[in-house]
Structures are given as C-alpha cells and as structure tokens.
Amino acid sequence: MSRAVQRGDGVGLEVTTTVVRGVRLAHDEPGRVAAVVDVPVARSDDQAVLLDALVRAHGQLGADGLPTRIGWFPARSTLQRIDVTGRTGPELNLIRHDLSDDARVSSTMLLDADARRWLLALRWDHGQAWRLQELAERAGFVDVTVEPAPVALERVLPDTATVARRDAGERRSWAAVYDHAVPVAAATVETDGREYPGLAVADDPIGLHGLDEIGAETDLDDELGRVAIGALAAHHRSSELTAGLRVVGDPYPPFPAHDLRAPQRIAVALGAAVGAAGLSGRLRPVDVTPTRHGADSQPRPWVVERVSELAPPNVAPRPSWRKRLRVWLRQRMPGRTGTAAQSSSKIDGR
C-alpha cells in the first residue's frame, strides 16, 4: 500500500547516452535522500533499451506514485535568457513566435526570480523530449516533466556559483553561466577527453551580460567553452570538496567519487528531485511554440478535402412564399370547380 505523497517527496532523473541516474527524496528521511540509483544504458537511441533502464531505475528507487522530473540536455542544445518582466500573455506568445521564426527556438520556459521574470529560450529536440517523457511514464513514473539539465542543477548549486561544467557521460558535456540563481546561458561543449561523471563549479566574476543576446548556436558554444575554460581553470577535476552542493539550504554531505551518492554523480538528478518534491518555489513546464500554419500547410490536411474541381451549378433562387401561395391556389381552383359541377349534375339527375 503506497503512502500519501507530501511536500518533500519526489524523484529526479538524469538521462544521458550511457546511464540513467536517479534520486528519490523523502520528507521524513534524515538528509532527505532516501535512494540513489545508477543504471547503465547500452544504446540510448534504442527505445526498448532505454525503457528497460528506466524500468529498472523505477524499481530500485521505489518511486511508486511520486512526482518525477527529468534533467536532460542532449547534444547541440542551447539555452539563453530573455528579460520579460511585465510582459502580458499575448506579448509572450509574440516573443515565442519571433524566436521560433528567427532563431529556431522551439521551446521556452518561464522563471521567476524576485521581481524579475525571465524567459529561457531553448534550442533542443522537443519531439525527443516528449518521447523521453512517454517512456518514463511507461516505465511507471508519474507526473513526469522533462526540463533542461542546467535548470535542474541550479537548484542545488551554491548561491555564489557563476559557472558550472557538467560532464554527464560519454560525449555529453555542457557548460552554464548563472546570475543570482538564474541560468544566463548554457550550451554543450567539447568533452576534451574529460572523465565522467564530473562536475566543476566556480564563483569567479565574469562578464554576464554579453551572453544575453540570442545568437547563433556555434557562437554560443564557442563563447561558453571559452568562459568555462577560463573560470574553471583551477578545477581540473571535480571532487566532493569543490562542488559545494546544497539541498534546501543544507550542505550536501561529501562522499567519495566511487560512491553512487557522490555529488559529481547525482548533482543534476538531485536538483531535479528537489524540483519534483516542491522544495524550490514555483515550477513551470517547458512550453513548445506552436508552428504557424499558412494556407498551403495544414496541421491535419485530411480534414479539409477538395471534392470537385467544377464550379457549383447555377441554381435559380427560390420564389417567395406569396408567389408559391398564388401558384398553389391556381392549381387548386379548377379542381374545386369541377367537383362542384359534378355534384350539381348528380343532384339534378336525382
């Protein structure tokens, strides 16, 4: 019998090309972390293999009935923030459509930080994100939401962090720049032969506002790679002493690198679990911008079908009711006269 879900109960996952990492938080567990898993994935492009890994992660976590968030940031993904403080709903939709048309930004996410509101412009394969969500639900997870991994990681970073580099798996590394708990920009970067899993965090002051403007994907990759190399020069290898993770204000305890609970292993999954457990303020989903359809592009072309190329026939207009009444009376009067005459002759003959 499953217990009632309370605030503080939730599951976070990090899905990469080689492994699925998971964390389950419990409100009554000392330190909050109740279970941790690390399930290898032989082929992430095979949905059956990935589903099997998710099923095993679900069983080992004991995640029945718990809300779940997945931190995910595939190759060639980028994220940049836009200040939308005070914008109305129609204005936000217009910004989303402009981003989709001009910068190929298919997804967005709203974040509230103090009195400011930020729109995170996200370039990624939203179709693949939907498939990942569906696979997680088929594996038994409930209330599943897929979010950018840099957003999940921010929930457990120290307040002073400005740069983070995540080496999640084979050929899967990304760097992010933060400003007061809000991701300024994030992009996948070259792995450079680094060991994984790895996490490096720095609090060096850097120029943040140069990354606000939406630019080309390759430009953002190069710029973030340069920033990460410069800011993290002193952190060649992550360890439990350099991460400084915090869970709802409490420091995350240190564990050796080989332990499944090591911060460099579960950082993203831990941040996703904090969000799923309702411990990180208001949560918003990733919004996918609908495509603008023109006259020659219908979302369901089989709904509207041309049945004939011929022009409609010319049909005479229907006469008015007065005219129809006069015609009816003329048709009825001769019949009535003949009937009356026949009746008179029968009477006379009788």
Report DSSP letters for 69-97, one per residue. Answer: EEEE--TT-EEEEEE-TT--HHHHHHHHH
Instruction: List the structure tokens of 16.
Output: 């990469």
- Sorted by sequence, the CB contacts under 8 Å of residue 200 that are 6+ apart come out as 164, 165, 232, 235, 237, 238, 242
Worst-scoring range by mean pLDDT, 178-182, 253-257, 287-291? 287-291
Q: What is the pLDDT at residue 336?
A: 53
Contact between 266 and 243 under an 8 Å Cβ cutoff? The reply is: no
Contact between 168 and 268 under an 8 Å Cβ cutoff? The reply is: yes
Q: Which helix (H) or strand (E) holds 177?
A: strand 172-179
**Amino acid residing at 296:** D
**Amino acid residing at 130:** W
CA distance 246 to 98: 37
What tens digit of pLDDT does each residue of 177-213 get?
898 778 999 998 887 777 889 898 888 766 555 666 6
CA distance 197 to 240: 12
Mean pLDDT computed over every residue of the chain = 82
Q: Above pLDDT 70, what percent of the chain?
A: 79
Look at 289 and 309; give whichever has higher pLDDT: 289
Please count the residues of the chain: 350
Buried b (16+ CB within 10 A) or exposed e, 308-344: eeeeeeeeeeeeeeeeeeeeeeeeeeeeeeeeeeeee
Look at 18 and 233; give whichever has higher pLDDT: 18
What tens digit of pLDDT does each residue of 297-322 get?
455 555 666 666 777 777 778 888 88
**Domain 10-288, CATH:** 3.30.420.380
Query: Which DSSP state fits 178?
Result: E
CA distance 236 to 29: 34
**Amino acid residing at 322:** R
Q: What is the pLDDT at residue 292?
A: 57
Q: What is the pLDDT at residue 295?
A: 43
CA distance 105 to 86: 22
- Sorted by sequence, the CB contacts under 8 Å of residue 241 that are 6+ apart come out as 254
Contact between 62 and 48 under an 8 Å Cβ cutoff? The reply is: no
Mean pLDDT of 158-180: 86
Buried b (16+ CB within 10 A) or exposed e, 247-258: beeeebeebeee
Query: Which DSSP state fits 321?
Result: H
pTM for the predicted model, two decimal places: 0.78
Asked whether residue 106 carries a pLDDT value surpassing 90, the answer given is: no
Give the range with max mean pLDDT: 224-228, 232-236, 275-279: 275-279
The domain segmentation of the chain, as residue ranges, is 10-288
**Residues 135, 168, 272, CA angle at the centre, nearest 5°?**
55
Q: Cis check for the bond before 197: say yes or no (omega within 30 of 0).
A: yes
Mean pLDDT of 236-256: 73
